[in-house]
């Protein structure tokens, strides 16, 4: 197979069923087989910008030179093919460079959540045993022997000369289903879960998107012809990984914010860079639309905003049509997860006609309702070439022998094939697109000496979709204040996991006949109390 002929014949768009890790799976008959194949297929001119962040602009040529220099430097730090490189840092050009450099030397980048607490970072380091940690966090003292570098060390690679002898090409020794990336995400059991994605998984998403769009976009002849994509999603999320791959492959310009999410900076960037696409959780889009200065910016270039990770309220569509009519026409919603990429898609017109839908399955994805009840509700299961290899370091795998990934989401499908999410089996809260494990937060609260019982449930929220609510039963006569509990939780949890609402019980929490806490009744109480 010659990858330079990518999508040039019908065979590239034909499906075949092949065994993938022992599971029957639909795959594209012709396909690239390694993540570095996508780099070889990149179409942009060397002088066009790949990355923009504030005043910094990195061209495709600059990136390629730094990548080769960084590969030699990373190998010199003791990173061998197959080793794991743990990356825990905020969005920056250095994040993308570190990720691709790991691939270039044949290592496996492991993406950690920059909002983790020190305890969570320490626990993951112990599990992953990385050869190298790249972070702007303090290194936990119990891992003082670990080789660790900061983003500023990565930034030094931009100015290094291209090496006279490049690093060996690792592709020949790495199979298509070998692990290419580990992305940590909150699971329903408490500790962060490492989702192992193969080269097949990552390449599948790019090829599928091209096929959905009727082919690969033409190479941009000038900077003005480049598609400009705004990146506000944390780069340790899989959606940002996909966006970064697309930027390199299709010659897009990727624009990042200078720091934390700022609605006014988003408005400025869309106007200045003529941003065409922006993938963000509903909370971010709503904040931008409601900014008092939004109407004073020229935003007509934004024609393809997309969202996912949380339910899209009808009010968002109304506000988008009023504030950004061009964007409203091309607005889309994707349903998916790190473990299986995206599974279905709905356009704005679908959302208006069928409120609550997450759309129809995309090409090469099989999705169905498993064991539906009398009303048609059941667990959503799916399979495709993008389903993960499995969770890192655990026997718990939500993939059955036939290759079906069990999402943990409850849903239904209508007569026209449109899917709807109706609930979750997993004990997880989704706050602004960020998954929060309820047992994980509960464990942190129960570490408080005065907390005897704790239950964490979602609380409806107009801005974030859901926020964290804690219901606690404390030691009689020793009820701590909300401020002290919040401070206690902050020392053990990422900021977004700290409960926003606190409810105190003067008696033990209600339980079901099984002895488990009756979270459904508590959730009703919380919703009533919050309102």
C-alpha 293/C-alpha 300 separation (Å) is 15
Q: How many CB atoms lie within 10 A of CB 475?
A: 12
Q: Are 474 and 480 in contact (CB under 8 A)?
A: yes
Q: What is the location of CATH 3.40.50.12780 in the chain?
A: 6-224+233-259
C-alpha 32/C-alpha 199 separation (Å) is 9
| CATH 3.30.300.30 matches 429-530 | yes
Look at the block and give the residue holding tokens 């330079």: 4
pLDDT of residue 514: 53
**Which tens digits make up the pLDDT trace of 140-162?**
999 999 999 999 999 999 999 99
Nearest CA among 485, 491, 499, 415 for reference residue 457: 499
**Which tens digits make up the pLDDT trace of 202-213?**
999 999 999 999
C-alpha 315/C-alpha 174 separation (Å) is 48
- Residue 154 phi/psi, 5-degree rounding, is -65, -40
The highest-level CATH class for domain 6-224+233-259 is alpha beta
What DSSP state is assigned to residue 53? E
Q: Which residues contact 289 (CB under 8 A, 6 or more apart)?
A: 316, 319, 320, 323, 324
Q: How many CB atoms lie within 10 A of CB 13?
A: 17
Nearest CA among 33, 1, 382 for reference residue 176: 33
CATH fold, domain 261-330, is Rossmann fold (3.40.50)
To the nearest 10°, report the CA torsion of 22, 212, 312, 301.
140
Token pair recorded at residue 458: 């979602």
- Judged by DSSP in three states, 26 sits in strand
Please state the CATH superfamily assignment of the domain spanning residues 346-426 in this structure. Luciferase; Domain 3 (2.30.38.10)
Partners of residue 455 on adjacent β-strands: 471
Q: What is the location of CATH 2.30.38.10 in the chain?
A: 346-426
Pairing relationship of beta strands 357-361 and 341-347 according to DSSP bridges: antiparallel
**Which tens digits make up the pLDDT trace of 298-322?**
999 999 999 886 667 777 888 999 9
**Which tens digits make up the pLDDT trace of 49-99?**
999 999 999 999 999 999 999 999 999 999 999 999 999 999 999 999 999
pLDDT of residue 352: 86
**Which tens digits make up the pLDDT trace of 118-132?**
989 999 999 999 999
pLDDT of residue 151: 97
User: Exposed, middle or buried: residue 501 (CB in 10 Å: 0-12, 13-18, 19+)?
Assistant: middle
Q: What is the location of CATH 3.30.300.30 in the chain?
A: 429-530
Q: How many CB atoms lie within 10 A of CB 530?
A: 14
The DSSP code sequence of 421-444 is EEEESS-EEEETTEEEEHHHHHHH
**pTM (2 decimals)?**
0.86
Nearest CA among 187, 184, 188 for reference residue 427: 188
C-alpha 43/C-alpha 252 separation (Å) is 9
C-alpha 23/C-alpha 128 separation (Å) is 26
C-alpha 139/C-alpha 387 separation (Å) is 33
Q: Are 392 and 193 in contact (CB under 8 A)?
A: yes
C-alpha 243/C-alpha 240 separation (Å) is 5
Token pair recorded at residue 349: 């017109």
């Amino acid at each position: 197979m010659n990858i330079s002929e990518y999508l040039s014949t019908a065979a590239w768009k034909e499906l075949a069923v092949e065994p993938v890790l022992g599971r029957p799976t639909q795959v594209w008959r012709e396909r690239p087989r390694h993540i570095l194949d996508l780099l070889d297929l990149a179409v942009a001119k060397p002088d066009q910008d790949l990355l923009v962040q504030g005043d910094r602009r990195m061209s495709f040529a600059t990136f390629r030179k730094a990548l080769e220099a960084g590969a030699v430097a990373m190998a010199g730090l003791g990173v061998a093919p197959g080793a794991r490189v743990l990356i825990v840092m905020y969005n920056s050009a250095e994040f993308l460079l570190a990720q691709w450099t790991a691939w270039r030397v044949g290592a496996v980048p492991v993406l950690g959540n920059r909002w983790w607490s020190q305890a969570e970072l320490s626990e993951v380091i112990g599990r992953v045993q990385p050869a190298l940690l790249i972070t702007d966090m303090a290194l936990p003292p119990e891992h003082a022997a670990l080789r660790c570098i900061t983003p500023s060390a990565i930034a030094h690679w931009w100015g290094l000369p291209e090496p006279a002898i490049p690093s060996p090409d690792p592709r020949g020794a790495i199979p298509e289903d070998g692990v290419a990336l580990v992305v940590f995400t909150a699971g329903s059991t408490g500790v962060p879960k490492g989702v192992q994605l193969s080269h097949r998984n990552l390449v599948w998403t790019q090829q599928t998107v091209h096929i959905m769009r009727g082919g690969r976009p033409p190479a941009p002849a000038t900077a003005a012809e480049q598609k400009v994509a705004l990146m506000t999603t944390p780069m340790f999320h899989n959606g940002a990984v996909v966006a970064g791959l697309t930027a390199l492959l299709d010659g897009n310009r990727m624009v990042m914010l200078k720091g934390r999410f700022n609605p006014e900076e988003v408005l400025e960037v869309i106007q200045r860079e003529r941003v065409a696409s922006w993938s963000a959780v509903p909370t971010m889009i709503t904040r931008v639309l409601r900014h008092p200065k939004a109407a004073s910016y020229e935003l007509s270039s934004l024609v393809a905003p997309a969202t996912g990770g949380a339910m899209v309220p009808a009010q968002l569509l109304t506000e988008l049509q009023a504030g950004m009519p061009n964007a409203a026409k091309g607005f889309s919603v994707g349903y998916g997860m790190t473990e299986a990429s995206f599974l279905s898609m709905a356009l704005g017109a679908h959302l208006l006609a069928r409120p609550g839908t997450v759309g129809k399955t995309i090409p090469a994805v099989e999705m169905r309702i498993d064991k539906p009840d009398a009303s048609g509700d059941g667990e959503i299961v799916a399979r495709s070439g993008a389903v993960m290899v499995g969770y890192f370091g655990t026997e718990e795998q939500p993939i059955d022998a036939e290759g079906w990934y069990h999402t943990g989401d409850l849903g239904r499908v209508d007569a026209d094939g449109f899917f709807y999410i109706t609930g979750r089996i997993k004990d997880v809260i989704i706050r602004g697109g960020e998954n929060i494990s309820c047992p994980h937060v509960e464990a942190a609260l129960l570490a408080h000496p005065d907390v005897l019982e704790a239950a964490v449930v979602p609380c409806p929220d107009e801005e974030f979709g859901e926020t964290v609510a804690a219901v606690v039963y404390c030691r009689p006569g020793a009820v701590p204040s909300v401020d002290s509990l919040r401070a206690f939780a902050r020392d053990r949890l990422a900021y977004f996991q700290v409960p926003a609402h606190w409810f105190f019980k003067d008696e033990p929490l209600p339980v079901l006949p099984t002895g488990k806490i009756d979270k459904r009744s508590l959730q009703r109480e919380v919703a009533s109390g919050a309102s």
